[in-house]
Structure 1
């Protein structure tokens, strides 16, 4: 009987170990991190920085795959149907929450089909003016725009982008007459801003910072609750006289909905450890980013707030995509 009990105990332990193995054995092969933008942009750069650090904690390679197209919805629609086994992840931006209001029809649900893992960082938007514009601060910019017969031209990185919608929210809150001029991304927009072909724009700090520091663009105010050390002389919108005006693009990692809770916990912890390394934290800050490194619960709450905020921007802009 004693031998039988021993055998039964060992067998039971073995069976319990096998039952738990799928969750705790993860990962046992390389992980793919999908980026819905071309190589070289801020999202791609941050994704590769995280992917470089994660193998230290997951003990498997993390391979970044760029899949641009259709304002991130091409990659998102395919990712939403992926197997929630933890081997495919998705790093995206504020475009994900904007899509919920901007597109009349999506073949996926930006909330229900995605499992928030961690918000790594945010990069605030900064209102900049071309040097030829005779303004020095927010008040003088608003006064000048209202006195100008045709107002000001406002560049953006495209219809329905955070830069465009932030400009529309600014226009609604200040009654500043702005004519929207959309571009295809940061590079052509900044070229025309630097050349004076357009007058103002909300630009991600990472893209604008080199030109601000070089004196080629004039920073008016930062759409952020606090000042940023790299441009410490630039006031926040609140300090400049526009309370509560905040806007940023963000960089967060998702998994397909239905991810095993044990895998989710391990993945979240590993991402947080990677982002918290001094090297990665400093590299993000050098880009003008605020390091968030949130939990999945904090990220989910953040997404809820973002949906409401960008829905208002889409409504004010009248932007829509069939």
Structure 2
């Protein structure tokens, strides 16, 4: 073996030994948890709940760092470039699996450049209508949207959002005439729903729950495999006649690619313990969320499957961001 080859081998050995040594003592310094949204939103709230409990369990500070911008891509790019040592983690949403199809020029790969750790929770997407629309079932909605010459208006909190892409999948599956009306967030969209300026919407349960409970919006069906405890009388899409139609936004924990298995396992075990607490479940259910608490392998499978599903939806919707 030449001196040059020996030097390269020695250098690689040092890097490997250093990584293993660091993983063995993990964590021995504060951890940054990057969130791609501003403080105060659902993702931020859930991230802070998880961070607080993991911090107690590990005996190490976890700092939540809000880094909104360009959807979720500014934060994701930062995490993708970070060291694979477990000191920079990422709490994001279903938007992560959409970005690979929606954005033309990403500087990272949403699947290959990240290590899925756990799916913490999900918030199902529900089809709601303004009371003035006077439809009560999914069958009535589909017939209305097919037979009305101008179609039916459907709001979303923005182009390329999970809610927008859910309606694109619905339109493709049902052959309905849906006229997409994009808004800048849930609040203005719901205001227009309540005022009758838009007729329907695919919206997260957390945003629609108070209006469904007060009967100011009509919940037609929930895009979830099972009924939701907060709205037990609302059927699933399958129960309402549209088989195997599920869509949700979710909250998941990632690290950068090549995260040591021991580090991933440490974070997963600590997160699993925190999320399993009854008080945590109670707080999330009050937001219209379901606790999932999945293992890394299950989360990886979901990420790959959803990326394929959303790619189909992006193509159907025509949405694209340069």
CA distance in 2, matches of 1:156, 1:314: 14
- Aligned partner of 1:119 in structure 2 is 119
CA distance in 2, matches of 1:261, 1:95: 25
- Aligned partner of 1:52 in structure 2 is 52
- Aligned partner of 2:305 in structure 1 is 305
Mapping of residues 186-265 of structure 1, within 5 Å: 186-265=186-265
Q: CA deviation at 1:147?
A: 2.7
With over 3 angstroms needed to count, the CA separation of the structure-2 counterparts of 1:19 and 1:205, relative to structure 1, is closer
- Aligned partner of 1:294 in structure 2 is 294
Does the 8 Å CA contact 2:126/2:219 hold for their aligned counterparts? yes
1:33 aligns with 2:33: yes
CA distance in 2, matches of 1:106, 1:73: 8
CA distance in 2, matches of 1:124, 1:173: 19
Structure 1 residues not aligned, in runs of 5+: 1-17
Q: CA deviation at 1:99?
A: 0.6
- Residues 219-258 of structure 1, C-alpha deviations (whole Å, 9 max, x = no match): 0000011101110000111111111111001110001112
- Aligned partner of 2:15 in structure 1 is none
Does the 8 Å CA contact 2:19/2:85 hold for their aligned counterparts? no
Q: CA deviation at 1:187?
A: 1.2
Structure 2 residues not aligned, in runs of 5+: 1-17
CA distance in 2, matches of 1:93, 1:20: 30
- Aligned partner of 1:151 in structure 2 is 151
What is the DSSP-based 3-state SS (H/G/I as helix, E as strand, rest coil) of the residue aligned with 1:71? coil
CA distance in 1, matches of 2:110, 2:136: 40
CA distance in 1, matches of 2:276, 2:224: 22
CA distance in 2, matches of 1:241, 1:258: 43
What is the DSSP-based 3-state SS (H/G/I as helix, E as strand, rest coil) of the residue aligned with 1:141? helix
CA distance in 2, matches of 1:83, 1:91: 16
TM-score by length of 1: 0.92
- Residues 25-49 of structure 1, C-alpha deviations (whole Å, 9 max, x = no match): 2112221111101112111111111
Q: CA deviation at 1:24?
A: 2.9
CA distance in 1, matches of 2:186, 2:138: 23
- Aligned partner of 1:139 in structure 2 is 139
**What's the Cα RMSD here?**
1.5
CA distance in 1, matches of 2:176, 2:255: 41
Mapping of residues 35-184 of structure 1, within 5 Å: 35-184=35-184
What is the DSSP-based 3-state SS (H/G/I as helix, E as strand, rest coil) of the residue aligned with 2:179? strand
Paired positions, count: 306
- Residues 48-71 of structure 1, C-alpha deviations (whole Å, 9 max, x = no match): 111121112111121111111101
- Residues 74-93 of structure 1, C-alpha deviations (whole Å, 9 max, x = no match): 11111110111111110111
Q: CA deviation at 1:145?
A: 2.1
TM-score by length of 2: 0.92
